[in-house]
Amino acid sequence: MKVKVYLIALCLSFSGLASAQTPVSTATIANPAYVPLAYNQRPSQSASNPGLTTGPAGKPLNSRSYGKSSTQANNSWDVYRTTAVKRTKDITYEDFVFGIYLGTNSTRFAGDELNVGGDLSSRVGYQAGFFARTGGRVYGQLGAEYFASSSNYYIKSYDAGQPVQDRISIQYIQIPAYIGYKLVESDRGVSAVRLQAGVEYANRVNATSGKFQLSNAQIKSGTVNALGQLGFDLGPLLIDLTYHYGFGSAIQETKSPGFAGAQRRVLSASIGVKL
């Protein structure tokens, strides 16, 4: 009886060894990102697209593909394809920008006359403000600024036919609105060369006129100006050059015809930062 048990156990042992040595065939798993190549086989160049290579099955391989030995028994190589990610613009940054700025301006009136020395009458003022910009390459911009302007106004014949020259200084709260276009911009839209056009409403808050003795009532409290601007975005910094063209006279005084052409003509330059 014991001999039979030993024989049965011996037969089962030989059967297990035979099954362990039996080759097991493996099938290649279909995967579009997995392309097997035979050992020492070089990927062939694609005729339709020289920038890509193809494996045995005609599937394109990226130039960043690499070989990796997977099975030493059949000497095969596994080639993996990587996919390049295209850089896109920062949509959040491009959709909305808020900024602050300050700068200087040179202001004169259209009806200014040259003084005795033939000098121009404009003087240097200053401005400070903020803005909000929204859009992409074509965008809209709305802001508010404090604008202090000054001009050495000269009239050859003013009171009793005498020439008068003195400083007229006016301070405004202005609301500029623009439509702009980026002529050139970086990949993310952070840096750009801009061209803008728009209008602004200027509300007078204070004024002084020296020898002209103009009251605040004689200086219009609200005027409208056309705007043209060339701007530069340098990362978070910005530089703007703006021309303000007044449509109506800023002064209502009728004592002298010299004030009849008191439309504002302003050239301003600002530097700011985008937040």
List the chain domain ranges: 30-85, 91-274
The model carries a pTM of: 0.63
pLDDT recorded at residue 258: 58
* Cα-based distances in Å from 194 to 64, 140, 179, 189: 39, 12, 10, 11
pLDDT recorded at residue 72: 47
CATH topology of domain 91-274: Porin (2.40.160)
pLDDT confidence bin for 212, thresholds 50/70/90: confident
Whether residue 184 is predicted with pLDDT greater than 90 in this model: the reply is yes
- Spatial contact of 178 and 145, defined as CB atoms under 8 Å apart: no
- Of 254, 247, 244, the closest CA to residue 217 belongs to 254
Q: What letter represents residue 28's amino acid? A: T
Whether residue 91 is predicted with pLDDT greater than 90 in this model: the reply is no
pLDDT recorded at residue 27: 47
Tell me the pLDDT tens digit for each residue of 37-56: 554 555 555 455 555 555 55
Whether residue 176 is predicted with pLDDT greater than 70 in this model: the reply is yes
Helix (H, G, I), strand (E, B) or coil at 198: strand
Tell me the pLDDT tens digit for each residue of 53-84: 555 555 555 444 444 444 444 444 444 445 55
pLDDT confidence bin for 28, thresholds 50/70/90: very low
Q: Per-residue pLDDT averaged across 85-93, rounded?
A: 50
β-bridge partners, 99: 131, 274
* Cα-based distances in Å from 29 to 33, 43, 53, 109, 204: 11, 20, 21, 82, 78
First to last CA, the chain: 95
- Of 272, 265, 274, 273, the closest CA to residue 125 belongs to 265
Q: Per-residue pLDDT averaged across 193-200, rounded?
A: 97
- Tell me how far apart the alpha carbons of residues 237 and 92 are, in angstroms, rounded to a whole number: 18
Residues 6+ apart with CB under 8 A from 78: 34, 36, 37, 67, 68, 69, 70
Helix (H, G, I), strand (E, B) or coil at 47: coil
pLDDT recorded at residue 121: 60
pLDDT recorded at residue 217: 78
Whether residue 245 is predicted with pLDDT greater than 50 in this model: the reply is yes
pLDDT recorded at residue 155: 73
Q: Per-residue pLDDT averaged across 202-226, rounded?
A: 87
Token reading at 90 = 């920062």
- Tell me how far apart the alpha carbons of residues 131 and 100 are, in angstroms, rounded to a whole number: 6
Cα angle vertex 246, ends 242, 141, to 5°? 45
The overall average pLDDT reported for the chain is 74
* Cα-based distances in Å from 271 to 4, 10, 101, 241, 259: 103, 95, 5, 9, 33
Tell me the pLDDT tens digit for each residue of 118-171: 555 667 899 999 999 999 899 999 999 999 998 877 777 666 667 777 888 999
pLDDT recorded at residue 219: 86
Cite the beta strand spans of 76-136 per DSSP E.
Answer: 76-80, 96-109, 123-135
- Tell me how far apart the alpha carbons of residues 264 and 110 are, in angstroms, rounded to a whole number: 6
- Spatial contact of 154 and 139, defined as CB atoms under 8 Å apart: no
